[in-house]
Chain A
C-alpha cells in the first residue's frame, strides 16, 4: 500500500529532524550560538532532504501509473481490442480495472478477466518499484544532507529557499486549476457551437433542449438549432437578480448605515454577528424556505388580491435570494462606510449638520464608489447563485418581465441539463458548458469592474 509508504516517509522525516538537530548541537558541543543556523533549521534541512524527493516521487508515480498501466494493457490486448472504437476501448479498460481493484463492473467476459489479472500483476510490480525508489531516494537524501551538517553550514538559507519553492508550487496549482477549468469550459463550448451557431444560442428566444432529439425536423440525429435560444434564461436570471437587488440593496445599505453610524457599541456587538449568521445559512436551506414558505405566501397574497401568481414565481425566488445577500451587501458597505474618515463626520457636525444630513451629504457620497462595487459583487453573487433558484424558480423558459410568473435561470438550466442519464457529447449537455461560459464571463466582468472601482476609491484616502 502506498499509504503506508507515505506514513513511513513522514516518520522518517520526523526522525531525520531530530537527528539533524542533535548532530548540529553535537557539532558545536552544545554551544548553539556558534552555529550559523538554529539547530531546528538543521533538523528541518535534514527532514526535507530525507522525505521531500521521496514524496515527490510518490506523487509523480500516483499521477502517472494509471495511464502507463492502461497503455500497457491496451498494448498487450491489442489483438482483442483491434475491432473496437475509442469509447469501447475505454469501457474495456475501465471494466478491467474495476474487476482488478473492486468497483462496479458493466459485464465480464474471459478477455476482461485476463486483462484484470494482467492489471493486478503490473500494479504489484509498480508498487514494488515505487517502494524501492522512494526508500532509496530517502536514504540518499538523508546521507547527503547528514554529511553537510556543520557549524558553518547555512541550513537556514536552504530551508527558506525550499519553503519558498513550495509556496510558489501551491499558488501555481491554484492558478493552473483555474486556467484548466476555464479552458475546458471554452473547448466544450466550442464543440457546442459547432453544432449550434453561437448567434442562435445568444439571441434565440426559444429554449427547450429537452426536446432536442424529438419533434419535427430532427430526423437522423440532426440537432434542432432553434431550441437553444438562451435569451429567456438570461432574462429570467436578470429578473430574479433584479428582484433580489431590489430587496438586498436598500435593506443591506440601511442596515450598514445603522450599524456604522447609529448603533451603540453594545447593539453593534450583537447585531453584526447576527447578520453574519444570516450569511452562514446554507443556500439549500434558503431554497426550501423559498419553496415551502415564501412562494405559497405570495401565492396566497396574490389570490386574495385577485392576482394569478405562479407557485414558482420569480418574485419568491428573487425575494429569498435578496434576503440571502443582505449580509453580503451590509458587511461590505459597512466596511466602506467605516473607512470614511471620522474627520469628515466631525467637520460636517461642526458646521451644524444633523447626523442624517452628514450621512446623506458627506458620508454616502464619499463612500459611493465602494458601495457601488459592493453592489456589483452582490449582483455577481446573485447571478451565480444556484440552489435557491433550483428549488424555488421554475423550469419553464418563459420570456417575461412579469415577476409573478415562473421563469428559469441559467444556473437552473445547467443543473437540469447535466442531471440524470446523459450522453456526454450531445448538444444538450454541451449547452451546459456554453451557458457556464457566458455566466463566467458576466460574473468575471462584474468582479473586475467592482475591484477597479474599489481600487480607485482606496487611492483617494491613503
Chain B
C-alpha cells in the first residue's frame, strides 16, 4: 500500500512539475557477479515516453543496470540481483512475476545486430508467434508490416521479406532487431549500445528512429558516445565504478553537471 501511495504522490508531483510519470524505478539495486560487486545501491527512475541514456566508462555497470530492467541477468548463472525494480509500481523481481511476460513488456535491442538465421518476415513474426498475439495469418502480416514500418525498414525490404535476415547490411539488421522488439508491442525498449557496430550513416538513421519511437515507447539506451546521448536522450544517468554518479535532464548534465566526474567524463578527461 505504501508503495502505491508513494507512486501516486510522485505521479502528482511529476504532473505538477510537468514531468512525465515514472515508468520504471530502481531502488537500491545491487548486482554481484560471483564475489565481484558490479552495482552499488543504484536509485534511478525511467520516465514514460522519454529516452533515458546511461553513460559512463567501460565496466561502470551501465549495461548491468540495463539488463536488470528486464531480468536478462537471469541468464547468467553467477549474477545475483538485490534491491527493488518496479514496472508501473510492480516489483519485477517478485517471484509471482512471469519473466516471459516481463520481457514481452520490456523488450531489448542488443549491441551487435543479432537477427535469427531466418527470413526477414520470420524474424519479426517470431515474438508475436510465441506470445500468440496474432489471431490469423492476415493479422500476423499486419503486425510484421507495421513493425517494419515503425522501424523505418519496410520500404527497403518489402520486396524480399522471405530472404534471410542475416543478408541485410549491419544498419538494416539492427533496425530489423528493433522491428522484432516492437512487434511484441512492448512498453519499454532497452537498447544496449545499439549503434556501436554501425557506421555513421546507419547510426544517424537509428538515432532518428529512436527519436520517433519515443512517442509510443519508453526507451533506455546505453551508449559510449557522448554526442549520441546528447542527441537522443531527455535524461542522462552517469555511472562510474558501479555507482550512479549523477542523474538529471540531459541538457543540464551536458552543460552544467553537479559532479566533477561527470564533467571530466563528458569533456573527455577520462574514460
Q: Is A352 within 8 A of B103, CB to CB?
A: yes
Q: Is A352 within 8 A of B72, CB to CB?
A: no
Q: Is A343 within 8 A of B110, CB to CB?
A: yes
Shortest Cβ distance from A271 into chain B, in angstroms?
A: 16
Task: Select the stretch in B126-134, B148-156, B223-231 that faces chain A.
Answer: B126-134
CA distance A365 to B166 in the complex (A): 14
Inside 8 A of B218's CB, which chain A residues have their CB? none
Inside 8 A of B115's CB, which chain A residues have their CB? 347
CA distance A401 to B116 in the complex (A): 42
* Interface membership of A353, Cβ < 8 A: yes
CA distance A352 to B107 in the complex (A): 8
* Interface membership of B32, Cβ < 8 A: no
The proximity string for A residues 336-358 relative to B, scoring 1 for CB distances below 8 Å and 0 otherwise, is 00000101111111111110010
Inside 8 A of A351's CB, which chain B residues have their CB? 103-104, 107-108, 126-127, 130, 180-181, 184
Instruction: Tell me the chain A residues, 350-392 only, with Cβ under 8 Å from chain B.
Output: 350-354, 357, 361-362, 365-366
Inside 8 A of A352's CB, which chain B residues have their CB? 100-104, 107, 127, 130-131, 184
CA distance A344 to B116 in the complex (A): 6
Q: Is A366 within 8 A of B117, CB to CB?
A: yes
Pick the most buried of A265, A350, A357, A460: most chain B CB atoms within 10 A of its CB.
A350
Inside 8 A of B112's CB, which chain A residues have their CB? 343
* Interface membership of B261, Cβ < 8 A: no
Chain B residues bordering chain A, tally (CB within 8 A): 28
Inside 8 A of A366's CB, which chain B residues have their CB? 116-117
* Interface membership of A82, Cβ < 8 A: no
Q: Is B110 within 8 A of A346, CB to CB?
A: yes
Among residues of B, the one whose C-beta sits closest to the C-beta of A460 is B117
CA distance A395 to B111 in the complex (A): 62
Q: Is A341 within 8 A of B114, CB to CB?
A: yes
* Interface membership of B250, Cβ < 8 A: no
Q: Is A362 within 8 A of B116, CB to CB?
A: yes
* Interface membership of A264, Cβ < 8 A: yes
Q: Is A348 within 8 A of B116, CB to CB?
A: yes
Complex partner residue of A344 from B75, B114, B130, CB under 8 angstroms: B114
Q: Is A350 within 8 A of B100, CB to CB?
A: no
* Interface membership of B199, Cβ < 8 A: no
Shortest Cβ distance from B123 into chain A, in angstroms?
A: 9
Inside 8 A of B180's CB, which chain A residues have their CB? 347, 351
* Interface membership of B77, Cβ < 8 A: yes
Complex partner residue of B114 from A265, A346, A357, A365, CB under 8 angstroms: A346
Q: Is B130 within 8 A of A343, CB to CB?
A: no
* Interface membership of B177, Cβ < 8 A: yes
Among residues of A, the one whose C-beta sits closest to the C-beta of B74 is A349
Shortest Cβ distance from B17 into chain A, in angstroms?
A: 33
CA distance A366 to B116 in the complex (A): 8
Shortest Cβ distance from B225 into chain A, in angstroms?
A: 21
CA distance A345 to B108 in the complex (A): 12
| Chain A residues proximal to chain B, CB less than 8 Å | 264-265, 341, 343-354, 357, 361-362, 365-366, 460
Can you name 9 A-B pairs with beta carbons within 8 Å?
A: A344-B114, A344-B117, A350-B70, A351-B130, A352-B103, A352-B130, A353-B126, A361-B126, A460-B117
* Interface pairs A-B: 7 shortest CB-CB: A350-B108, A352-B104, A352-B103, A343-B114, A351-B127, A347-B114, A352-B100
